[in-house]
Each structure stands twice: as C-alpha cells, then as structure tokens.
Structure 1
Amino acid sequence: MEREWMAGGSAAVDGVAIDGFGDVRRAPITRVQAVADGPLALAVVGDCPVTEQELKLALAAVRAGRLVELTRWPGSYWVVASEGRQRFVCGDLAGTRAVYYTLRGEEGVAWATEARLLGRPLVPDLPWLAARLSVGEHHWPHRSPYEGIRLVPGGFGLLLAPGAPPQLIDISGITPVDELREGADRFGQVLNEAVQHRVRAAGRAVGADLSGGLDSSAAVVLAAGAGTVHAVTYTDGYTSGEDMAFASRVTEHTGIAHTVDMGADEQLPFSFPAGQPTGAEPVLEAAMYAMDASYMHPVRGLPLHLTGHGGDIVLDASSSCWVRLLQDGRRREAHRQVVAFARLRNTAPGPYWKALKQAAELGRSGSLERAADALERGPVTPEAAVAGWSWCRLGAGASWLTGYGRHQVAALLRHASGDRQTELADEFDQWAALRSVGASARGWAPYGHSLGIRPVYPYLDNTVVRAAFAVAALARRGLVAYKPLLRAALPELPDWLTSRRSKGSFTAQRIAGLAHHQGRLDELTASSPLVHDGLIDPAAVRPALAQAARGQSATLIADLHQMIVTCWWLSDQRAALEAAC
C-alpha cells in the first residue's frame, strides 16, 4: 500500500525531497508531480490526473497568488506551491487530505500531513475531546486531538512567509448557480469523471462498497460503465432486507461480480479485536473494524476501493436550510415546508418549528453562548436535546460531564463564539458536515492499510463538492423526492433506484454490539483518561450504556458510539505515551 505523507518547515522526518522544495519530504513511493521555473514551484501529491503541461501553466497562478486555481483539478490530493518567498500548502475541501502545523518559536512553523511527523509528543487534548463528545467538533474546525497541534480546516490552505504568523487562506471557491437543473448538469459531469477516471486508470478490476443505498449504488453503476467492478456487501441478522434487495438489483442491472458476507456475533460493533490499528484520531468507524475485516476480504489487494462515503452531504441538506429561510425573512415559505416535512413523517410540526425559529433568532454565536450558560448552571439532562436543527445541541454526551468538565466545555464554547465563522445556518451546517465525513475518511486510512484496501471517495473530490454546494441547500433538500440532485444529475440511473426514499441504518447492530460487549465497554469508559482527569462521570455513563444495550433508547446510540471509540483510542494513546517515557 502506498504512503502519501509529506512534512515541511522544521519537521524532522526521513524521506525524499520533492523537486523544487528542498525542505519538504515525502514518503519514498508517494505519487507526486512537480514542476519548477526559477523561484516558482508547484507540486501535486496524491490521486490527481493533472498533466505536466497543466502544472506548468498553473505556475502563472502561483506567481499571481490565485491559489484557488491550484485546487480545481479532479481527484484527491495535496498542493504545495512556492513563489520564492511564500509557501502555500493545502489539502482538499473535505479535509480527507489533512495538513497539521505547529509553532516552533524562532524555528518558525512546521507542517505535515500526519501529526506524528511534526516531531513533538502527541499529548491528547482532553478538554477538547470532552467538548467534542458533548457538543460536537464543528465549533473548532482548526483544532486537532493533540495539544499544541493545529489542523488546517477543510476549505482552507496554509500560507507561510518568513517572519510572519501562519495565515489561513479560503480556498472554498464555490460559485452559486440559480437553479437545480443548471447545477445538476455540472454535478453529473464531475461525479462521472470522479468515478470513471479512477476505474480506467486502475487498468483492472476494482473493489466497491455496495450497501444498497443510493450513494454507493450510484457509484457502482457509474464504475461498471468504465471497467470491471467487484462489489462487496455486508449483511447479518440485523440488516435491512430492503438494503440487501437493492444491492442485489444493482448487481443484476450492471452484471458485476458481487460477494455478500454474512456476519455473526464476532463482527458486531465495539469488539475492538486484538491487533486492530488505532489511527491518529478517534473515528466512529473504529467500532466497525471486525465487520470491515470480514466483508472486505474478497477485494483485498485490488488497486482501489470505491465508496459512497460523503454522498449524504453533497446530495442532501439538513433542516438548517429552513433556518436560512427564516434568516432571509422568508418565514411563510419556511413554515410551509416544515409543516409538509412533519406531515410526511406523521410528526407534530410545533416542536420542530419552535426549535428552528430559536436557531434563527439566536444565530451561531448566541447559540454557543446559550449552551455555555446552560452548562455552567448545572447538570444537563439528555431530555434537553431539542427536535429539529440546532447550532449547538446539548444531548446525552453533555449529561455525562462532571462539574469541572462542564466548565471546561463552556469555556471552549465561549471562545468559539467569537471565532469568524459564517452565521448563515445552511452554509455553516454543510461545511461542518463535510469536514466531519472528511475526518472519518482520513481516520479510516490506517484501517484500510491494515486490510489491504485503498479507499477512494469520489463524492468528496473538490470538483464534486463544489458542484454540489453551488446548488442551494434548499434545492438539495427534497421533500417529495429524496436526493433530487442525484436524479436530476444522472438521468441514466434506473428510476427504481433514484426513486428510493428509505435509508439503511446500523442502529440494530450497534444495540446488539453494546449488549454483547457491555461489561468490557463499561470498564473501558471507567478507566478512561477523561474520567481520570475529572471531565467525565462514569456513574452517569453506566446507566445510559445499560439502557441502550437493552434497546430502550436509540437516541443515546450516537453519543455512546462517540464516547466508546474515544475512550478506546485514548487507551492506546496513553499506552504509547507511557512507552515513550
């Protein structure tokens, strides 16, 4: 498997220098294309079909400081550019290609694509991890799980100049379109390219996830039009029969090879088998490693593995789009859509509407201040979570904080409320969601490496994200049609697929996994550094775990999942620190 790390500045790593960048090191077998002309230099590292001639022409953009232009090629990659005095480095919009950096006093700034390459101890930032568990990570897109190490947020690049502090440069580059139809044509074109150029370049059979959902199914259909595909599907006694039926129908439609893996108790979530790699950050997928190892085995060693990861973010939108309507003064339209949405789901629109109005009235900064006030006043109960979209939700995770933990998280929220982030609800939410799925994709990299899988995420390519986000969130939020952008963009997809409205879930598997491993998970939580440092109260987590394991509260599952993988990840980090000492 390839390794695509880079490090620059004063980061001390072994490796091969990139042409034109004498102080930037890369892994020996990293894919890199670089050009230089005097003081101008440009390198693209990763999965990108850019040609040498295109790179040479792009040197003019480097000279003129038109940095967004360096991120508009297909694929998934890092960019490093220099015009002699300044250095620019960035990953992708989703953050699957991370860039970490740290200040080193007179030595300047060190940056790297993996935190471990920065040459400093990796000490977990426990208050931030507690905040991440209780109110979400999207309030601090620039923070990493480690003390003293910052992360360049997805949608930004890092500009470095001698004697100047590091500067974050916006590279989002979204050009809005007027209507869905106009944006759909462009989206269909770039999604086709994102899938098919990789399949053609592989030159032989490629692997693909096929859950039966719209996102993975669409990717498989597009891939089958460009080459040979071997799809794999996981199923067990808890899996939706509808998912399996759609997966089977997709394979019949495309004629591809398809392997279905029937899981057992050994593949239930939260088993954390011996030898499972840990990774640089806690990710939800860590709990599913046994399942991944089982169903992906037939496609081990293939040149790439397509996934539908990220499709929900680019193809759909949350109810934050109705908050945006309220922010724009379109109250009547917002109310009409909320009522229609509630009726389709046979729920009362009142609580939903109230929550959305409150989100619009408070805004991002006001919502964070309000959440901080609530944490400082005293314990938070899980029932405090509201229906509908919220800038900052205090749910089950917040109820597990100690008094000390609540004050730590409140302080972080107050600091974040003053950060410069958009106050437009739909824009804030889509970027937060995109960075979250990007983090899970990069976090899965060590698991894929250990399984012999090279995952690719076509829905997270810059070209695909830009084409999707150019379409207003409100237009992507279908009331009658599910994911209307996909249907409009790819009319060649079969109607029986794009007309599907349901979506599969692993909730039943997670409940079974919690029940199967409850004793071990309780011990894992109780022994966590989060408990040792007085941030989390294990006596508050224990009944929630027991309740979820009995299947009595599905609303607890997401917070428990995050808590468990964080505690498991921290146990390995603690062992690594102790070994280093």
Structure 2
Amino acid sequence: MDQVKERGMHEIHEVVEWMTGTGPGRRAGPGLSGVLLGGAARARTVADGPLRLAVVGECGAEEAELHRALAAVAAGRWAELTTWAGSYWVIADRPGERLVCGDLANVRGVFYTLTAHDEVRWATSPHLLASQTGAGVDLPLLAARTVAGEQHWPHHSPYTGVRAVPGGWGLHLTDDAVRLVDVTAVPEPVGLWEGADRFGQAFNEAVALRMRAGEGPVGADLSGGLDSSTAVLLAARQGEVRAVTYADPLTSAEDTAFAARVADHAGVWHRTAAGGQDELPFAFPAGAPAGDEPTLDAANTGMDSCYLAPVAGLRAHLTGHGGDVVLDASSACFPGLVQAGQRRRAHRQVVAWARLHNTAPGPLWQQVKDTADGYPHALAQTAQTLETGPVFAAPAHGAWSWLKLGTAATWLTADGRAAVAAWLRRAAQGAGEVRAEEFDQWAALRATGACARTSTPLYAALGVRPVHPYLDNQVVRAAFAIPAFDRHSTVSYKPLLAAALPDLPGWLTSRRSKGAFTAQRIAGLARHLARLRSLIADSPLVTAGLLDADAALRFLEAAARGERAAGLAELHQLLVTCHWLVTGPAPAPAWAPGVRSC
C-alpha cells in the first residue's frame, strides 16, 4: 500500500492530485470533475492499486484505520467512511466509481451541476460551480427560503441549476450515472440512559480531537450557556484554552456571570469584550466577505470582530453551535407521538407544555392533531393558502407545525406568493411521509450546519477558524439514536447533558435560562434604519416583483421601534439576503491554496 500522505494548507492540491485524470468519467462518457476547497484543512490519502481514499478536515482516524477502510471502499460500504471522530470530507474511488461526501450536519458541503456538455462537476463551493456554468441566483427560491425556511429544499443551492447534496448523503458518481447514497447510519434507538454513555464518549472525543490536533492554545466561545460552557470545561482538561465572552449594556447579566464562573471553575484564560453602539447588529460594514450564500452571521460582524479579537490567529476556536439540536428536541415530538400511536402520552406532554408556557392546552392539542396529518399535506395546504389568499401571519407561540407562514409571507407580492407556492408544490411532490420529530431534528441540524458553513469566510477574515464538536457525525449519531421525545423534557432542560456527563458541576446542568440577543437586534435596526430601508427598497427581490417593499418597510420601522419582536427572525433573514444579493460573493479563483480540480 502507498504511504499515507499529509500536507499543510498550501499543499492540499498535491494530496488529492491522484484524483486528477483518474476518476470515473475521464474516459468516454460524461466527465466527472470536481473542486475541493480545503482551506486550512488537514488532508490525508491512502491507496492500494485502484482503491483510493482521501479524508480532508479534522478526522480522528489513525493511519492503520485509513488503510483498513480501503476494504469498505472496495465493497462500497460508504457509510463506514464517515464514522471517525471529527468533521471532514471523504473522497473515495474504486474501479468505475467515486464517492464524494460531506458530513451529516452539512458543515462540509458538497454541490454538483451539469455543464453544457453534460459533464457532471462537483465542488465544495456552489458559487464556483455557478461561475463555471454561468448560473445565476435563483431569486424565487431565495424568497421561498425567507418565507418558509430552507429545510423544504435541501437539494437546492441559491444558484439556478446548482444542486446541493443534503447532509447525511453522499454523491456517488459513475461513468453513466449520478445518484445520492444515504450515509446517515444512525444506530438502533435506545433510551436516554442507555444512550447517554455513548453520547458522552462521542462528545469527549470530539473535543479532545481538536485539542490534540496541533500545538498552542485553542480559543473558545463562552456565552454562559450550557453548550459552550460544557465544551470549555472538557477542553480545559486536555490543554490550554482561551475563552472569550461578548457583553454590552443589553446583555443578560446572568449569562456574563455564568461565563465568568465557568472560566474560574475550569481555570482558563478568559476575556469579556465590552461592546457598545458600534457593535450593534446590521451594520454590514464595507469590505466584509459575502461568501457563497446568505448567512445570518453577516449581521453580527461588529460584535464578532469585537469579542473574537483576543483569540485571532489561534489554531482553532471551539463553539457551542449545534448543542440545542443534539441535546434537546422541539415540540415536534408531540405530533410525532400521535403519528406513532401514542396519543395519551402526547396529550399529557402537550398539557404539561401548555402549563409551562401559561397557555391553554385545548388549541395546542388541536394543532398537534392537525399536524399529524403529514408533511406533503401541509406543504400543499400552505401552497394553496398562498395562491388563494388572504395571508395572515401565524401566531408567534403555538404548537410545532411542518410549515408556519409567519410575517414574511405578508411581504410578498401576488407574483411572489405564486412563486413561493410553486416551490412548495414541487417540494410536496417529492416529499414522502415522515415522522414530525425526525423531520424537525434533521432540518434543524442541517440548518445549523449550513449556518456554520456559510459564515466561515466571515470568521476567516477575522483570523478565526471555528470548530463545532456538537455537529460531528458521531456526536449527532449518538444523540439521534435517542428518540426525540426522550431527549425533550417539560420538567428539565437538556437532560441528555447531565446524563451523559455526570461529572459536570450541578450548578451548570441545573440552569434553566439563557439570554437572547433580541434587544441588540432591535437596537441595531434603530441605529441603522436609514441604510436598512435602502437595502430593502433597492433589493433585487423588489425589482423582480417578488417582494412588496412597502409592506417590508412598514414592518422594519415597527420592529426598529420595538413593536414587532415576533417577526425579527424573518426580518433578520430578509436583511442578510438583501445584503448578500447586492454584495455578491467574490470571484471564484481558478486555483488557489486549498483549491484543486479533481
């Protein structure tokens, strides 16, 4: 067997050089070429004759494990190539076939398209493929994502004709076919206490991998919440951690106090940044990279540059992103129980949830029963609502639903409603029946991973390389093997964390509250109101006839006065989308460090 190769950032093209001219499609038939954007990722390859395997990213496999995995490549057992600790891409060849795979959470994205000559091209950058094929931005899809979320179209990128490989799937290429293969490989279901040990081991290993991978200190977010605090406590057992916290006059004092207490308990270096008016959201400073897709973090550039400055240049930066998804579950578990035939259990939980939120259980129970009718029905029903009108914003609080039309739906023009309805009908045609809690946990996971992926250029410009141990494949698998209604509790918060890591301090795992940045967002809207008005009024979504500028502007102005907190998340999404459309991603390089045609 060939020796394992390892290279740094500037030599990643040599690591995957074996893929050039040797993959499927390089003979007669459609070409199957791709581009891997590795950045600062570590890349390793092994080979045995025609069997070849590359892992690019943070992969915990030892050299011997990579060599043994060539047997899985030979047999086409693709999911086995995704079960090491860490976050990484996989590229594997056997005669006549290639697999290109990211991760379950979609932090490591993979995209593909057909050229004018019917060649299949893949890349880890959708914009790069769009620039090669001349594809433009799909404005109706961006409008649909703003109104309904991106979870209904996991196979689409923001560019016309550029397809996305959903998290948990791999792109399988042969000379005459392209298909997606399922690599989720979630273990058989187990109860909370049976699965807690496996989760604890997986998360410990995910954190330890980052601490082992290099020399020098590692940075870490420390907001004071359970997720980032746990990551800091585990990392501090492995090496030097430099933790940073953001605080301003609008920040929860309880969060700041908890962050300081965690840092003191762990004995780590800790800095709290004092933000102010200049750090409020929605400044959209000139010169900040736009990235391949709209990203929510584009609104927080001032805040991020303020609190992350002390850890710029460190080899990695730990975050708590994904903790909410894997440690807990939403109220989607209620209709899921109804779908599973456990109506009594569902009713008890709905009543308990209603009491906790000081609301009437009757209407909530009716919503739960209606939601149990299924996903395709909900998509088609919502499309009909948009087509026939009138459209009203759904209440902010209530039971979970497959698709809840919020305030953003009232900003659409008639053409915009028709365009979004058409996208929903296409989604309904391709949708199968699925349990509510299963749909929701995977949708939330992929949305969280996509947010982490799309914000990478912003953090790179600040000299920060975030890593997200909660989103690692094995951590996700260990969590999702525990049914959502076992991870969700109406009487305790994130019970999996305390069960999986019993040595965490009780004062941390017993915490029930966590501050939000709603006040900062409202203040940022007010501070930057004039510019944000122009951003919406001049948006391509408006000029294309999809968005009613007057309706959106009325909401913006009311939100800036603090009168419309219920629709802030949708307004946030609209503003970053409008900003991205007028800024646009940087031109894609033909070749650069960390870029390689395959």
Please report the TM-score for the alignment, with normalisation by the length of structure 2.
0.92
1:295 counterpart residue number: 307
Structure 1 segment 197-346 matched on structure 2, within 5 A: 197-346=209-358
- Read off the aligned partner of 1:255 and give its amino acid letter: G
1:137 counterpart residue number: 150
- Alignment partner of 1:152 out of 165, 188, 206: 165
- Partner deviation per Cα, 1:68-92 (whole Å, 9 max, x = no partner): 0000000110000111101100000
- Alignment partner of 2:565 out of 554, 560, 565: 554
Specify whether residues 528 and 376 from structure 1 end up closer, same or farther in structure 2 by C-alpha distance, changes over 3 A only: same
Give the superposed CA RMSD. 1.8
The DSSP-based 3-state class of the residue aligned with 1:418 is: helix
CA distance in 1, matches of 2:447, 2:39: 30
- Partner deviation per Cα, 1:334-386 (whole Å, 9 max, x = no partner): 1111111111222222232222111112x100000000000001241224667
Quick check: 1:184 aligned with 2:196? Answer: yes
1:162 counterpart residue number: 175
2:50 counterpart residue number: 39
CA distance in 1, matches of 2:459, 2:585: 23
Q: Give the Å deviation of 1:36.
A: 1.1
Structure 1 segment 69-148 matched on structure 2, within 5 A: 69-118=80-129, 119-148=132-161
- Alignment partner of 2:546 out of 520, 535, 544: 535
- Alignment partner of 1:396 out of 365, 387, 407: 407
Bigger relative contact order, structure 1 or 2, given CA contacts below 8 A and separation 6+?
Answer: 2
2:76 counterpart residue number: 65
The DSSP-based 3-state class of the residue aligned with 1:511 is: helix
Q: Give the Å deviation of 1:60.
A: 0.7
CA distance in 1, matches of 2:353, 2:39: 53
Moved more, 330-339 or 366-375: 330-339
Q: Is the 8 A contact 1:316 1:477 kept in 2?
A: yes
Q: Is the 8 A contact 1:176 1:472 kept in 2?
A: no
Q: Is the 8 A contact 1:95 1:439 kept in 2?
A: yes
- Read off the aligned partner of 2:18 and give its amino acid letter: G
CA distance in 1, matches of 2:586, 2:195: 50
Q: Give the Å deviation of 1:217.
A: 0.3
Q: Give the Å deviation of 1:31.
A: 1.9
- Read off the aligned partner of 2:141 and give its amino acid letter: W
CA distance in 1, matches of 2:292, 2:71: 36
Quick check: 1:347 aligned with 2:345? Answer: no
CA distance in 1, matches of 2:425, 2:380: 6
Moved more, 238-247 or 49-58: 49-58
Structure 1 segment 401-550 matched on structure 2, within 5 A: 401-550=412-561
The DSSP-based 3-state class of the residue aligned with 2:434 is: coil
Specify whether residues 425 and 543 from structure 1 end up closer, same or farther in structure 2 by C-alpha distance, changes over 3 A only: same
> What is the total number of aligned residue pairs between the two structures?
566
CA distance in 2, matches of 1:456, 1:29: 12
2:383 counterpart residue number: 372
Structure 2 residue runs of 5 or longer lacking an equivalent are 1-7, 22-33, 589-598
CA distance in 1, matches of 2:190, 2:333: 16
Specify whether residues 529 and 213 from structure 1 end up closer, same or farther in structure 2 by C-alpha distance, changes over 3 A only: same
2:592 counterpart residue number: none
- Partner deviation per Cα, 1:162-210 (whole Å, 9 max, x = no partner): 112x101111101133311111000000101100121132322110000
CA distance in 2, matches of 1:445, 1:575: 14
CA distance in 2, matches of 1:405, 1:437: 27
CA distance in 2, matches of 1:515, 1:341: 35
Quick check: 1:20 aligned with 2:18? Answer: yes
Q: Give the Å deviation of 1:49.
A: 2.4
Q: Is the 8 A contact 1:5 1:112 kept in 2?
A: no
2:31 counterpart residue number: none
Q: Give the Å deviation of 1:328.
A: 1.3
CA distance in 1, matches of 2:356, 2:300: 32
Please report the TM-score for the alignment, with normalisation by the length of structure 1.
0.94
Specify whether residues 282 and 385 from structure 1 end up closer, same or farther in structure 2 by C-alpha distance, changes over 3 A only: same
- Read off the aligned partner of 2:97 and give its amino acid letter: Q
Q: Give the Å deviation of 1:331.
A: 1.2
CA distance in 2, matches of 1:353, 1:269: 37
- Read off the aligned partner of 2:249 and give its amino acid letter: G
Q: Give the Å deviation of 1:450.
A: 0.2
- Partner deviation per Cα, 1:223-266 (whole Å, 9 max, x = no partner): 01111111000001111111111101101111111000010111
- Read off the aligned partner of 1:320 and give its amino acid letter: A
